[in-house]
């Protein structure tokens, strides 16, 4: 059975979610598709417990709470979700509707597609270790989803960027012990995070080994220890419950790259008038798009979503312009 909607949104990150709200104000229904099992994109997947300070009107908000707020805000507009399925291919039917097919064969029909696919499909950068796959989810994690999982545990964390620094600092209050391993002596992360890290080392709250890397994983059913290579020193075996290689995510556009859209370095080129792409009826908002002056910020994606739905409305309603009204005047009119 083919499901039908007004705007099909690929990606249930913050920008995809907010697009549902703006579309709902214009009476348009949305259906969101996301490869991940939960909504929220990077906020849910990479930094659910971190505070965000630059969402207008919210001096600080935990990323996971922002996602919950967005979900609450769009409730009246009853969006449909297809989660845990990747948008794989698009075609057109004989009435000029797009038909999207997901990795599990779900088909969704719409006049408009809004791509809000962020970094694309998440693929963590993995270290080159022979038996890595054996320990994935058995002691090796690439993303911290639930910090409480590491309460009272011994951790080895590798990396030198913001993600590794932020999590070492955050988990230093939760874990029993943390050994941070970094290939170099300089860090790529924010200077204030590096200072905080060095302070924690000074207080003996964490251990830091530089010019070093994990070269072997040891254990049977689950990870028990790692072997460290340290420049100009003997290898060291460290007992640990978890090894977290936090080397960041490789942006992979995934199947969307094959859809004939104008691309520039893994991002979709858009017209800033309405965030339309070179394919009529397909828009791109949030981190996935690019244009002169683009900033990958949530608030920029919210703006893009707002302008995008105005244009989508016109396309869906045969050229008719939406009438612009303040929410203070209209309130929220739920959709059926
Ligand atoms: P995303 O949040 O990336 O969501 C995209 C979704 O699309 C994902 O869920 C993905 O699974 C899905 N997807 C991709 N391809 C497909 C496909 N083919 N089929 C189905 N689903 C697909 N921004 C700020 O404004 N302030 C901050 O303080 C801030 N801090 C940050 C801290 C960190 C550590 C990181 C990593 C980012 C931070 N950002 C911050 C950036 C912010 O998270 C992004 O700008 C925002 O998440 C972009 O939202 P989005 O909806 O465009 O995409």
What lies within 8 Å, CB to CB, of 295 at 6+ separation is none
Taking the mean position of all CA atoms in its chain, how far away is CA 169? Answer: 21
Indicate if the pLDDT at residue 123 is higher than 80. Answer: no
Whole-model pTM?
0.76
Ligand 1 centroid, distance to 302 Cα (angstroms)? 12
pLDDT digits (tens, 9 = 90+) for 284-309: 999 999 999 999 999 999 999 999 99
Residue 140 near ligand 1, beta carbon < 6 Å = no
Q: Specify the DSSP class assigned to residue 47.
A: -
User: What's the pLDDT at 10?
Assistant: 98
Counting beta carbons within 10 angstroms of the beta carbon of residue 130, is it exposed (0 to 12), middle (13 to 18) or buried (19 or more)? exposed
CA-CA distances (angstroms) from residue 230 to 109, 181, 241, 256?
56, 9, 21, 42
Alpha-carbon distance of 76 to 68, in angstroms, equals: 14
Indicate if the pLDDT at residue 59 is higher than 80. Answer: yes
Q: How sure is the predictor about 251, in pLDDT bands with cuts at 50, 70 and 90?
A: low
Which ligand 1 atom is the nearest neighbour of the CA of 53? 28
User: What's the pLDDT at 15?
Assistant: 98
Alpha-carbon distance of 228 to 217, in angstroms, equals: 9
Is beta strand 223-230 parallel, antiparallel or unpaired with respect to 98-102? unpaired
Which ligand 1 atom is the nearest neighbour of the CA of 85? 20
Indicate if the pLDDT at residue 176 is higher than 70. Answer: yes
Which ligand 1 atom is the nearest neighbour of the CA of 249? 36
The phi-psi region of residue 248 (left if phi > 0; otherwise alpha if psi is between -120 and 50; otherwise beta) is left
pLDDT digits (tens, 9 = 90+) for 188-242: 888 989 999 999 999 999 999 999 999 999 999 999 999 999 999 999 999 999 9
Do 298 and 14 touch, CB atoms closer than 8 A?
Answer: yes
Q: What percent of the chain has pLDDT over 90?
A: 85
Ligand 1 centroid, distance to 112 Cα (angstroms)? 21
Taking the mean position of all CA atoms in its chain, how far away is CA 268? Answer: 17
Beta carbons within 10 angstroms of residue 190's beta carbon: 13
Q: How sure is the predictor about 151, in pLDDT bands with cuts at 50, 70 and 90?
A: very high
Indicate if the pLDDT at residue 145 is higher than 80. Answer: no
Indicate if the pLDDT at residue 122 is higher than 80. Answer: no
User: What's the pLDDT at 237?
Assistant: 97
Give the CB-side neighbour count of residue 239, counting CA atoms within 13 A.
2
For all residues of the chain together, what is the average pLDDT?
Answer: 94
């Amino acid at each position: 059975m083919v499901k039908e909607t007004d705007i099909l949104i690929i990606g249930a990150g913050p920008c995809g979610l907010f697009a549902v709200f703006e579309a709902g104000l214009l009476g348009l229904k949305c259906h969101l598709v996301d490869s991940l099992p939960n909504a929220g994109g990077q906020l849910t997947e990479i930094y659910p417990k971190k505070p965000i300070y630059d969402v207008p009107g919210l001096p600080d908000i935990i990323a996971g709470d922002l996602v919950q707020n967005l979900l609450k805000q769009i409730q009246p507009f009853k969006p449909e979700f297809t989660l845990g399925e990747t948008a794989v291919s698009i075609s057109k039917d004989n009435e000029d509707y797009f038909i999207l097919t997901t990795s599990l064969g779900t088909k969704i029909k719409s006049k408009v597609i809004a791509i809000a696919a962020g970094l694309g499909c998440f693929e963590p950068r993995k270290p080159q270790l022979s038996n890595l796959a054996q320990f994935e989810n058995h002691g090796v994690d690439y993303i911290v989803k639930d910090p409480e999982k590491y309460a009272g545990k011994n951790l080895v964390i590798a990396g030198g960027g913001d993600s590794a620094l932020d999590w070492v600092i955050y988990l230093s209050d939760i874990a029993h012990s943390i050994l941070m391993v970094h290939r170099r002596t300089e860090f790529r992360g924010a200077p204030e995070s590096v200072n905080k890290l060095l302070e924690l080392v000074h207080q003996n709250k964490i251990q830091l080994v530089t010019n070093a890397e994990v070269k072997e994983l040891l254990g049977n059913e689950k990870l028990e220890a790692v072997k460290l290579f340290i420049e100009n020193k003997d290898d060291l075996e460290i007992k640990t419950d978890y090894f977290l290689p936090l080397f960041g995510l490789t942006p992979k556009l995934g199947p969307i790259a094959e859809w004939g859209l104008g691309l520039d370095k893994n991002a979709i080129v858009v017209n800033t008038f309405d965030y339309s792409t070179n394919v009529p009826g397909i828009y791109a908002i949030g981190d996935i798009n690019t244009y002169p002056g683009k900033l990958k910020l949530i608030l920029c994606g919210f703006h893009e979503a707002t302008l995008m739905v105005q244009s989508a409305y016109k396309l869906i309603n045969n050229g008719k312009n939406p009438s612009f009204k303040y929410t203070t005047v209209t309130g929220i009119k739920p959709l059926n």
